[in-house]
Chains A and B, each alone.
Chain A
Amino acid sequence: MEALNGWWDDYLLASVTVAKVFVCSLILMVIFGLLGASAKLSSNRLANAVGNAYTVFFRGTPEILVILLLYFGSAVSLTTIARVFDPSVAFVDIPPFWAGSIAIALVVGSYATETFRGAFNGVKSGSIEAARALGMNGLQTFFYIRIPEMWRIALPPFGNHMLSLIKDTALISIIGLNETLFVAKQAASTTGKPFTMYIVVGLIYLGFSTAITISVLLLEALANRHIQRRPS
């Protein structure tokens, strides 16, 4: 345990990085998921094809490959473009933070696409008809009826997507992001205590996923508070 002295601050900073990646990729994931779901639900053939290609590709490709593709691919493109202006440029890349966040958001977003689509279709047609019968217009029906019902259906799988995101952040260390696994690698080679160092990373992630699980449970209770049966 004393081997950890002097590394706590590194782990703390790295955990903050993990949290930052998580928040950024979560926002992007929701955007990608909503775009994908709208593409798949639209009546436009082209949008359908794009939506399907998106989910098939990203659900079938290992996350690590997407990260490598985005990071090294963008680096090659950017370097080529930069050399047009200044031939002495050696290497330009997107920061690993952003390449990684976008990559994991794309992957998990493809799963979220199916969740959002399923939730949209899962809203009972009776509820929509009832809203119409009450004289609500399209927008009102969407915001007051569809969104709250979708939210209840999508929340449990959405929680799982958040857990996938937090665990995928560990992969970004492969392209050199200074996060917990990266710190553990340095700490292990300096102190010669790899087990201790990597276990700390495991505990950090366990903490993150526990916090997410608990928040999702609380959100579910909040979302379902009206339909909870009261003990009579």
Chain B
Amino acid sequence: MNIGIVFDAIPRMLSGIVMTFQLLLLSLAIGTMIAVLLLLMRISGRWWLSWPAQFYTYVFRGTPILVQIFIVYYGLPQFEWIRESIFWPILRDPFGCAILALSLNTGAYLSEIFRGGVLAVERGLLEAGAALGMSATHRFIYITTPLAIRIALPAYGNEVISLMKSTALASTITLVDMTGIGRTIVAETFAPYQVFLSLAIVYVAITWIIQRSVKRLEVYLGRSTAR
């Protein structure tokens, strides 16, 4: 086994880390917005808003992310009207497709996490807010939201990690992220152990960093309740 390959491969793969983080942060931001929208639709109490949101979550959580990526990247160009629409510059580009698919997917998972947080907020606090004369909107913004964020944060962190792992799938639609570069190097050197194992360690390190940061944030947000 030639260990020299590792020292050659790691810097090359690390050059793909920018792509991995771009995919992660952009789709996390867009996914969070989708999730908030879905959450508001679900707790609106109006069936014509809540049902579509439920259907969306059901579909996106019930199918593999790889299939979603393929539908967006290979599937959508089948239609003439998509190729003529204003979205074509995004959908023609594998990066745009990866962002779109990852955001839509993570949005579905995050909305469930947010809903769990909102439902876990104690009723008594909301009743207290109502007794103080706060309107429903005020109660939602000043009582439900801060508490729900605190409750949902650990699960949110787990979802960030699984999104980070899903960005590796972007290599299947020709994007050169860390996994994409790793696969190229393996095709050149045929040294899968050295390349894939060192790449796995990079991913484990990123996971660890995300976990630590979320823990930090948890402590920070919980500072008022910490004894």
Cα A198 to Cα B172 with chains together (Å)? 15
B68 within 8 A of partner (CB):
yes
Q: A76-B192, A205-B63 are in contact. Are A199 and B71 (CB under 8 A)?
A: yes
Asked whether any CB of chain B lies closer than 8 Å to the CB of A188, the reply is yes
- Given the complex of chains A and B, what is the CA–CA distance between A174 and B69 in angstroms? 14
For B166, give its contact among A56, A62, A174, A201 (CB under 8 Å): A62
Q: How many residues of A contact B (CB 8 A)?
A: 41
A69 interfacial contact with B, CB 8 Å: yes
A94 contacts the other chain (CB 8 A): no
- When the two chains form their complex, are residues A210 and B62 in contact, meaning their CB atoms are under 8 A apart? yes
Interface size on B, residues (CB 8 A): 44
Chain B residues closer than 8 Å to A184, beta-carbon distance:
70
> In the complex, which residues of chain B have a beta carbon less than 8 angstroms from the beta carbon of A66?
200
B66 & A68 in contact (Cβ 8 Å cutoff): no
Binds A, one of B41-49, B74-82, B117-125: B74-82
A192 CA to B74 CA in the complex, in Å? 10
Given known A65-B179, A68-B192, A198-B71, contact A174–B172 (CB-CB < 8 A): yes
Partner of B77 from the list A167, A194, A202 (CB cut-off 8 Å) is A194
Smallest CB separation, A179 vs chain B (Å): 11
Is B6 interfacial (CB 8 A cutoff)? no
Q: Which of B168, B196, B205 contacts A73 (CB 8 A)?
A: B196
* Complex contact B78–A195 (CB within 8 A): yes
B64–A170 touching, CB < 8 Å: yes
A206-B200 in contact (CB<8A): no
Known: A69-B192, A72-B186, A198-B70. A205 touches B62 (CB 8 A): yes
Quick check: B62 and A181 within 8 Å, CB to CB? no
Determine if A64 is an interface residue (Cβ-Cβ < 8 Å): yes
Contact flags (1/0) for B189-217 with A, using CB distance below 8 Å? 01111001101100111111000000000
A152, CB-defined interface residue at 8 Å = no
A73/B68 in contact, CB under 8 A: no
Chain A residue at minimal CB-CB distance from B59: A206
A17 interfacial contact with B, CB 8 Å: no
Q: Does B115 contact A (CB under 8 A)?
A: no
Classify the interface of chain B: helix, strand, loop or mixed. helix
Contact with A along B171-186 (1 / 0, CB 8 A): 1100000010011001
Give chain A interface residues in 48-68, CB to chain B under 8 Å.
56-57, 59-66, 68
Minimum CB–CB distance from B226 to chain A (whole Å) comes to: 24
B67 and A202 contact, CB distance less than 8 A:
yes
Q: Is the pair A205, B200 in contact by a Cβ cutoff of 8 Å?
A: no
Smallest distance from the beta carbon of A114 to chain B beta carbons, Å?
Answer: 11
Q: Is B143 an interface residue (CB 8 A)?
A: no
Assess whether B196 is in contact with A68, with CB atoms less than 8 Å apart: yes
Identity of the chain B residue whose Cβ is nearest the Cβ of A160 in the assembled complex: B61
A209 within 8 A of B: yes
In the complex formed, the residue of A with least CB distance to B211 is A60
Contacts of A62 in B (CB 8 A): 165-169, 179, 203
Contact B64 A171 (CB under 8 A): yes
Q: State the 8 A-B residue pairs at the shortest beta-carbon distance, nearest first.
A: A60-B207, A62-B168, A60-B204, A72-B192, A195-B75, A170-B64, A195-B78, A69-B196
Q: Which positions in A face B, CB cutoff 8 Å?
A: 56-57, 59-66, 68-69, 72-73, 75-76, 163, 167-171, 173-174, 181, 184, 188, 192-199, 201-202, 205-206, 209-210
Known: A194-B75, A195-B71, A198-B67. 6 other contacts (CB 8 A): A60-B206, A62-B179, A65-B182, A75-B192, A174-B172, A181-B70
A-B pairs with beta carbons under 8 Å apart, 20 shown: A60-B200, A61-B165, A61-B204, A62-B166, A62-B169, A64-B168, A64-B169, A64-B179, A69-B192, A69-B197, A72-B192, A167-B63, A168-B64, A170-B64, A184-B70, A195-B78, A198-B74, A206-B58, A206-B62, A209-B61
